[in-house]
Amino acid sequence: MSPVTLLPFIVLIGAMFLMTRSAKKKQQQAASMRNEMQPGSGVRTIGGMYATVKEVNEDTVLLDAAPGVDLLFAKNAIGAVLTDDEYNRIVHGIEHDLKADGSVVPDDASSLTETDEPAADASSDASDDKPLDLGKKDAADKPADEAAVADADGAEPKKTDGGADAK
């Protein structure tokens, strides 16, 4: 056989070796994590239940899920061993103070502006002027004086760019 015909088989065997090696490494990490469990540490089961380890045996773990509720699980059913801070944050809602400087982030942007006056004064200046007409007008059809008279009378301008009166 030539080396060219053996090449696909060699690549296939190499890929299988790499995949089994990574899976074996993950299994070893999970086993070492489960062996490091001690009574009092917080865990999450593969079903998503959070509990505290009460007792560790050879193949089983006794978990304290709530006061007076003890559950017996297989060691393989433990998905993760959590740190004390992470367990308290998830289960009890206790946040560990990560910021040492104590800076406070404002809830709204009003505290970020330099002036303490409300911005409502700017809108009152615009209300004194006559309302703006943003419709298109053809300057060739209507002279400027007629347009001013039509606007003063309150008549609506004609639509010159065609189309229906749908709004």
Sign of CA dihedral 39, 45, 48, 49: negative
Among 5-14, 15-24, 113-122, 131-140, the least confident range: 113-122
Strand, helix or coil at 3? helix
pLDDT > 90? residue 119: no
pLDDT at 13: 92
Residues 6+ apart with CB under 8 A from 71: 51, 62, 63, 65
Q: In this structure, are residues 42 and 54 in contact, taking their beta carbons and an 8 Å threshold?
A: no
Nearest to 73 by CA among 91, 92, 55: 55
Q: Whole-model pTM above 0.75?
A: no
